[in-house]
Amino acid sequence: MSALADRSFTKMNGLGNEIIVVDMRARAGVITSAEARAAAKSPAGPYDQLMALHAPHIPGTDGYVRIYNCDGSEAEACGNGMRCVADLMFAETGKRALAFETRAGVIECWKGAPAHTCTVDMGQPRFAWNEIPLAHPLDDTTHLDIRMEPPGAAPLPPACVLSIGNPHAVFFVDDLAAYDLRTLGPALEHHAIFPERANISLAQVLSRSHLTVRTWERGAGLTRACGSAACAAAVAAARLGRADRDTQVTLPGGDLHLEWRTRDDHVLMTGPVEYEHEGRFDGAFFKDPVS
């Protein structure tokens, strides 16, 4: 029987990043890639990420979260999704601080003053070529020259590449509207330099405290918001001297506040979530999962 069959879920979004949260603490199970793809195509879908909340593995944490993209692949981190899980758990527990285990490590979350707002500690960014990872050594990961010349637009500049729990490539351009990310995104996501694929972002610097970003999300496609990509763009801008370490990042779905904290280099992301509806996955749909 599918781990998702007849399972209740909560549909939410973080700035338009469509999230489904499934509580698997009472009835454990392992979601397969085929089931995650099927869920995204089911009447209960679609979603960008499915966040499966399991009982904690590490003493002192509040849960173990596995993250699935809509193509069935598993992600290490999802900032918008973590805010959704945290908001549900804030309401359930009454706590103002939570810690969740993920494939990217333990992620801490703090309840914000405005309703349905929280801060997520996304940890330290990683810059070494083998930590991102890249397919071969690169001494300067602020300058990855992929040499792509989109039709009708200026050639893409070198990318700043890094890991925010998952791999990111950020291209700083003068005009976001000049590039068709729906076409560029898939080619760059699957470029040979990225053995685990990558999240692809175009970023434009509006001021030292304000960026605007569009992202092709690994495993999900063009998205209205990707929290880890917003973090990656903010860190990349600071590394390149284009922006300060405390910035507002405007995404198609809205704004996030990013701080690349000086004392420990952790990236703090603050933003809202919205509730859409409660639902249940029809068990009959998973008897023959959609491939």
Which residues are tagged catalytic?
78, 226
d(CA 119, CA 110): 5
d(CA 66, CA 113): 27
d(CA 104, CA 75): 9
Provide the token pair at 218: 């690994």
- In angstroms, what is the C-alpha Rg of the chain? 18
Contact criterion met (CB below 8 Å) for 161 and 167: yes
Provide the token pair at 66: 């596995």
- b/e map 213-252, b = 16+ CB within 10 Å: bbbbbbbbbebbbbbbbbbbbbbbbbbeebbebbbbbbbb
d(CA 170, CA 127): 13
Contact criterion met (CB below 8 Å) for 220 and 70: yes
Q: Which helix (H) or strand (E) holds 40?
A: helix 33-41
d(CA 119, CA 48): 21
Q: Which amino acid is at 147?
A: R
- Residue 1's Cβ-count burial label (10 Å; 0-12, 13-18, 19+) is exposed
Contact criterion met (CB below 8 Å) for 183 and 150: yes
